[in-house]
Amino acid sequence: MADPPDRWTALGFTVTEATIRLGGVSIELGAAGHGITGWQMSGVSAVGAIDGLPTELADDAAPPGSDEHPNGAVGLDHVVVLTPDFDRTAAELVCAGLPLRRVRQLPAGPRQGFRRLGPAILELVESPDADGGPARFWGLVVTVADLDRLAADLGERLGAVKSAVQPGRQIATLRPSAGLTEAVAFMSPEPVQPSATLA
C-alpha cells in the first residue's frame, strides 16, 4: 500500500518496520504508487497480473501473526476489487487458480463474487459505470472488536456507523479527511452464534 506508516499509526494501528500484522495478513506500507499497489499470495498459478491486479507469489513461510492494535483491529475481513467486466475478471481468477466460491446479484444492483484467501475474503464487485479497463483494488475492510468505541476515537474522520450487508454486523467507512489514498472501512465482528447442549 502506498500510504506512509505514520498515517496508519494515527488511525490506531501498530506499525513495525512499515508493516501492519493483522490477523494472519501483512500489510506493507510506503510502496511507490497510489492506493493498493498489489498483493502477494501463495498457491496461485498466475503471477504478474490477474486482470490488471499486480500479483506476486508469496513464499511458503509461516503466515504472519497479529499485533495488538490500539484501535481494536483484530483482522482483515475482506479485500474489495472493482471490475467493469465481472465475467472477464472471474475468468481470470479461474485461470489463476482462484475461482469464486459464491456469486450473488443484488436487487437492481451489481453482481458480487466471493472467495476466501487465507484469513481474508476477496470480494469482487461489478462496477458497470466504470470506464472499461482492467479490474482495480478498491480498498480494505478491517474487523474491529468495538466499532462504537473506534467511532468515538476517530470522530469526524469516520463516517456514520450503519448496518452492513452481512447480517448482525455494522460498518463505517473512513472519510478522505483521515488521509489515506485507499478506501478503508471498519466492521464489527461476526455475531456469536448461540450454542446448545443436548442431554
pLDDT at 147 over 80: yes
Does 42 fall in a domain? yes
Contacts of 199 (CB under 8 A, 6+ apart): none
What domain range includes position 42? Answer: 5-187
Contacts of 38 (CB under 8 A, 6+ apart): 31, 53, 54, 55, 56
Percentage of the residues of the chain whose pLDDT score is greater than 90: 66
pLDDT at 110 over 90: no
Specify the pLDDT at position 97. 87
Grade residue 80 by pLDDT with cuts at 50, 70 and 90. very high
Q: 151-183 burial, b if ≥16 CB within 10 A, otherwise e?
A: beebeebbbebeebeeeebbbbbbeeebebebb
Grade residue 42 by pLDDT with cuts at 50, 70 and 90. confident
Does 192 fall in a domain? no
C-alpha 51/C-alpha 61 separation (Å) is: 27
- Mean pLDDT confidence for 160-170: 90
Position with higher pLDDT, 47 vs 189: 189
pLDDT at 56 over 80: yes
Q: Look over the chain and give the mean of its residue pLDDT values, rounded to a whole number.
A: 89
Least confidently predicted of 122-126, 155-159, 163-167: 163-167
pLDDT in tens, 5-40: 999 999 999 999 999 999 889 999 999 989 999 998
Q: Which of 193, 141, 130, 138 is nearest to 164 (CA)?
A: 141
- Mean pLDDT confidence for 86-114: 90
Specify the pLDDT at position 62. 56
DSSP-derived 3-state class of residue 183: strand
Burial class (CB in 10 A: 0-12, 13-18, 19+), 127: middle
Neighbours of 35 (CB within 10 A): 16
Neighbours of 23 (CB within 10 A): 20
Does 194 fall in a domain? no
Does 178 fall in a domain? yes
CB 26 within 8 A of CB 44: no
Does 169 fall in a domain? yes
Q: 47-79 burial, b if ≥16 CB within 10 A, otherwise e?
A: eeebbebbbeeeeeeeebebeebebbbebbbbb
Does 153 fall in a domain? yes
Question: Strand 73-83 to strand 102-105: parallel, antiparallel, or no bridges (unpaired)?
Answer: unpaired
Specify the pLDDT at position 44. 77
The domain that holds 137 is classified in CATH as 3.10.180.10
Does 133 fall in a domain? yes
Specify the pLDDT at position 130. 64
Specify the pLDDT at position 124. 95
Grade residue 139 by pLDDT with cuts at 50, 70 and 90. very high
- Mean pLDDT confidence for 110-117: 91
Count of domains for the chain: 1
Does 196 fall in a domain? no
